[in-house]
């Protein structure tokens, strides 16, 4: 099971490591971390990720293409033709096309989610429709060979769901136990519909400063994923 995971400068660390930790329980697990050039990539958490391969020497036909997310750093990649073209190429070859958080925006911009249901980070979820996808507020969603997860911590749910879907429910239950995955959020404000109005307002004040969300309609023009 060959997992080709995209990494880019400023990616959200948990988006990458949560799903990959789950994928590591797939039979025959192998992974390549790919970017435009090999070498260290600094995540948004200050932890450095090593790109083991570049766009030219990585697997051409991976079993799973996986794209993590971010905020400002991901929006920069939406306007990087080399990145979008690479995702489009490998996505057409991969058996599974997957993402968590805003990574689904990159898949959609590459034309890979048109006509598919897709999850994303709550703040940008509705904008998937600009690229022809059908947004869903599910924690994770599997639509044919497309699998997408919500923001950050949803990557663990997504990864465990993928393991269960590919290998079987019994194996999925086993991995969930090994993960000790029994979340107990201390505040219960992890989604907009759960948060009080003050907390939600503060979040909305912070997020636009990091995400050029108002530019998405412009970015979506002339993208292959646009209806």
Residue 155 near residue 149 (C-beta atoms within 8 A): yes
**Would 227 be classed as within a structural domain?**
no
**Would 226 be classed as within a structural domain?**
no
**Would 118 be classed as within a structural domain?**
yes
**Would 169 be classed as within a structural domain?**
yes
pLDDT at residue 38 is higher than 60: yes
Q: What domain range is 93 assigned to?
A: 2-220
pLDDT digits (tens, 9 = 90+) for 39-87: 999 999 999 999 999 999 999 999 999 999 998 899 999 999 999 999 9
**Would 94 be classed as within a structural domain?**
yes
**Would 47 be classed as within a structural domain?**
yes
**Would 172 be classed as within a structural domain?**
yes
pLDDT digits (tens, 9 = 90+) for 162-187: 999 999 999 999 999 999 999 999 99
The pLDDT value given to residue 59: 98
Query: Is the torsion defined by CA of 136, 141, 146, 150 positive or negative?
Result: positive
In the chain, the number of structural domains is: 1
**Would 177 be classed as within a structural domain?**
yes
Active-site residues, by number, are: 101
- Write the CATH number for 93: 3.40.50.880
């Amino acid at each position: 099971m060959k997992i080709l995971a995209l990494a880019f400068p400023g990616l959200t660390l948990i988006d990458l490591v949560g799903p990959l930790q789950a994928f590591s329980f797939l039979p025959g697990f192998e992974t390549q971390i790919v970017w435009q050039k090999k070498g260290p990539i600094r995540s948004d958490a200050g932890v450095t990720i090593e790109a083991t391969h570049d766009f030219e020497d990585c697997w051409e036909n991976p079993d799973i293409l996986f794209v993590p997310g971010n905020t400002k750093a991901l929006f920069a990649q939406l306007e990087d033709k080399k990145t979008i073209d690479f995702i489009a190429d490998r996505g057409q070859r991969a058996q599974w096309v997957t993402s968590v958080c805003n990574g689904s925006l990159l898949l959609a911009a590459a034309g890979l989610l048109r006509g598919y249901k897709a999850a994303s980070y709550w703040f940008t979820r509705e904008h998937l429709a600009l690229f022809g996808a059908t947004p869903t507020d599910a924690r994770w969603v599997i639509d044919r060979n497309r699998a997408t997860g919500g923001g950050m911590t949803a990557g663990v749910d997504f990864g465990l769901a993928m393991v269960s879907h590919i290998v079987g429910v019994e194996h999925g239950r086993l991995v969930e136990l090994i993960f000790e995955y029994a979340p107990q959020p201390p505040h219960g404000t992890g989604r907009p519909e759960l948060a009080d109005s003050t907390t939600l307002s503060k979040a909305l004040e912070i997020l636009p400063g990091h995400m050029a969300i108002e530019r998405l309609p412009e970015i979506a023009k002339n993208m292959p994923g646009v209806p």
